[in-house]
Structures are given as structure tokens and as C-alpha cells.
Amino acid sequence: MLDDEKRHLIRDKLLRGVLPLTPPHKVYGGKCSRHHPCDGCNEPIGVGEYELETVTAEKVSSFYHLACGHYAAETRGRLLAQHLHTVEQGGFSEQSFS
Ligand SMILES: [Zn+2]
């Protein structure tokens, strides 16, 4: 379970386009083989910990702790649904899916 601070950080990154808002093209999961930071919460993913790698169609990779990857996917879906809702209400919604 993620704390609120991490959730806020991941949501903010998705909104600012730091993390891709487009659903990943490929997803890999497995044990981490080298120590590196999580693109979601910025905290390290240690060797031997489970991690998730998502790759966009443009070949942009992001690495996550499992919980962070899960939250990012959930938030991405919610943000896209909000845009759809705005458009369905006759509004105009613009989000750069970079
Ligand atoms: Zn993380």
C-alpha cells in the first residue's frame, strides 16, 4: 500500500507528462538485477526486489515498484476517464499524450 505522498507524486508526474499518460505498449515484470530508482516514487528498487518495466510505443521505458506501477496504471485510467467525461458533457479537453 502506498502512502499519500507517493500517490500524490505519481499523479503529479502523470499530469505533467513526466510519466507517460499513454497506456504502455509492453510491460515486463521480474526481479530487479541492478539497483536503480523507481520512476514513480523516486525511492530505490533494490536488487532482488520485484519491479515492473513499462515501455511505450515510442520506446520510453519506466521502472516501478509493483505497488507504484499498479497505482500509476490505476491513476492513468482515472485521468483518461475524466477527460472522456469532460468531452461527453460537451466540453473540450486537451491533454498532451507525450
Ligand atoms: Zn516506487
Query: Domain residues of the chain, as ranges?
Result: 4-78
Residue 11: the pLDDT is 95
Per-residue pLDDT of the chain (98 residues; tens, 9 = 90+): 689 999 999 999 999 999 998 889 999 999 999 999 999 999 999 999 999 999 999 999 999 999 999 999 999 999 989 888 888 888 877 766 54
pTM of structure: 0.85
- Domain 4-78 - what CATH class? alpha beta
Beta strands in 1-98 (DSSP E): 26-31, 36-37, 44-45, 50-55, 61-65
If you measure from the C-alpha of residue 89 to the centroid of ligand 1, how many angstroms do you get, rounded to a whole number? 35
Residue 12: the pLDDT is 95
If you measure from the C-alpha of residue 22 to the centroid of ligand 1, how many angstroms do you get, rounded to a whole number? 19
If you measure from the C-alpha of residue 48 to the centroid of ligand 1, how many angstroms do you get, rounded to a whole number? 15
Residue 1: the pLDDT is 62
Amino acid at 58: E
The DSSP letter of residue 60 is -
Residue 97: the pLDDT is 53
If you measure from the C-alpha of residue 37 to the centroid of ligand 1, how many angstroms do you get, rounded to a whole number? 8
If you measure from the C-alpha of residue 85 to the centroid of ligand 1, how many angstroms do you get, rounded to a whole number? 29
Residue 98: the pLDDT is 47
If you measure from the C-alpha of residue 34 to the centroid of ligand 1, how many angstroms do you get, rounded to a whole number? 15
Asked if residue 29 lies in contact with residue 54, where contact means CB atoms within 8 angstroms, the answer is no
